Structure 1
């Protein structure tokens, strides 16, 4: 059994005895599967360290510390990191052990941890990520081995374990950048500068993307999409090009005329209703002043309806003239239809050759 293990076990035994004396039942409350697992992992790690298998021992010590934290476990974990050459991890763990020993009133362990911190600090390796003002694009993100590097650490030498690091930078609307930097175990500071990111080109249009799609399809022995498109439909007949402007005007004029004729019919109903209302004030053709007023109003409405009807009929007739005289683009002059419109006291007449 090593002296470190003996010291750790002795300290745990003394602390346990003190707790049992001061507060009965406290040690039983703390004992559990986590504490037992932590002790098992600790013992396994000690044996692996004796065999020089630090890469297997360090994870066990870290898990043991997570399950059941202790100053002794932290000291062994820091020593394990140091043996693996992970100087930054060892330095940080020794500092944590020194603070824990101070809180627990263990001055010997605190002193030992701080001596280890001082010895490692002189040969720590540091990595400085420099982002010049020209490189600080809006939304810039810098990552080290996939982990985000906070902007507050840009330009600050950060203790790191020796090894190779991949730096990446990206920003909206910019092309990403990546680089590799190696940190030697001999100590010192390595500086990695993020260059200005180039602006990303605009997205390719469909016309430029078509040749690339065809090339990929040919490489995969697949017929390009253009070869599988069915033949285009035959061109539409000339009539599909659109209605002549004169016919469109004819439709508008006809619509106005029809509306006018409808309004005249409505005025006729109103005039008839007013004529019937006058019956209460008239005896045949003899009416009192109120009846005369109502009948005059009925006559005025009837006259207005007649005028509106004539105007609407004229508009419909004019629309017919516009429609039938417009012809078609390929019709000859002799083949064009003719229209005759007549308007008399009894109404209007419509005729012609089509």
Structure 2
């Protein structure tokens, strides 16, 4: 992009914000109490924007839009977010306004919204949360400011408003971890890497593990008492089965959500396509849909494999009654070095 074109886009964004502050309110089609409340909030917000109080104006515009949606309100809200320094919120709201204006045939407003979004594109700040393979414990949950981050978003630099963000991670049987990341208003990408979570200490009253070599000095256990390895191995294997199956179910659910998102994105390309022939906008939208569909397929396959592994672990857990009777049994256990396989025949 040439400097002249970039300057023209920046000037267009400033002109849009100035025009919004002076323009008349957008018309509202909905009737009833919600429309009346939306109108009052809208008038208050415009007055606050003219006074430069964007901190108070933006929430009123957002609530007005929720009560009675309109393209004009979205444009005001995007300009308010931009003046407040919330670049990611402004960028997303401009894009939402452009889509709404396109659906309603409002070409002028669509162009205004797209110019506003384009002017913010280069200034967007992003937050990248990385989860290396060594940190991906079973049942791992990663949250940003308390909101769950789906595994498909791990490793993706997401646009965010400048500020401080708390990133947390937790998993069954592991100590929780958290850190704070500062996102620079000047743009760029802040990266947070989730480390391997430490194992949680045993609960109070749990029997400590015997030191190495101590078993030789201990008297032999009575024959009628079950072996400690069998008593401890069975619940550990069942727990591993539940964790693996649970993680698989979560993955399958996430793949279904990605499938619906891909279908919705594909349908958005209809206005730009004639059969299999699409313009540049349609090609980009369909490309997004294909990427979402591929991600959903990969997540589904991983989830299905995890559910299958959980089923194998559950079904191969030896029965205490079979062990006592001396019948053949297969034992699969989890230890510090990985998966172990044993049995009695």
TM-score under structure 1 length normalisation: 0.52
Alpha-carbon distance, 1:205 to partner: 2.0
Alpha-carbon distance, 1:4 to partner: 3.5
Match of 1:168 in 2: 168
Aligned residue-pair number: 191
2:181 is paired with a residue of what secondary structure? strand
* 2:21 and 2:49 in contact (8 A); partners too: no
Match of 2:90 in 1: 90
* 2:21 and 2:50 in contact (8 A); partners too: no
Residues 188-240 of structure 1, C-alpha deviation per residue, up to 9 Å, x if partnerless?
111100000011111232899xxxxxxxxxxxxxxxxxxxxxxxxxxxxxxxx
1:179 is paired with a residue of what secondary structure? strand
- 1 CA distance for matches of 2:199 and 2:40? 56
Alpha-carbon distance, 1:31 to partner: 2.1
1:199 is paired with a residue of what secondary structure? coil
CA separation of 1:206 and 1:136: change in aligned 2, threshold 3 A:
closer
Output aligned runs, 1:1-354, within 5 Å.
4=20, 7-9=23-25, 12=27, 30-205=30-205
Return the structure number with greater relative CO, CA threshold 8 A, min gap 6.
Answer: 2
- 2 CA distance for matches of 1:177 and 1:56? 35
Alpha-carbon distance, 1:37 to partner: 1.1
* 1:157 and 1:189 in contact (8 A); partners too: yes
RMSD: 2.0
Alpha-carbon distance, 1:121 to partner: 0.9
* 1:8 and 1:72 in contact (8 A); partners too: no
2:156 is paired with a residue of what secondary structure? coil
Alpha-carbon distance, 1:6 to partner: 6.9
Alpha-carbon distance, 1:88 to partner: 0.6
- 2 CA distance for matches of 1:45 and 1:38? 10
- 1 CA distance for matches of 2:203 and 2:21? 65
2:168 is paired with a residue of what secondary structure? strand
Alpha-carbon distance, 1:170 to partner: 0.3
Alpha-carbon distance, 1:104 to partner: 1.0
Unaligned runs of 5+ in 2: 1-17, 209-345
CA separation of 1:3 and 1:85: change in aligned 2, threshold 3 A:
closer
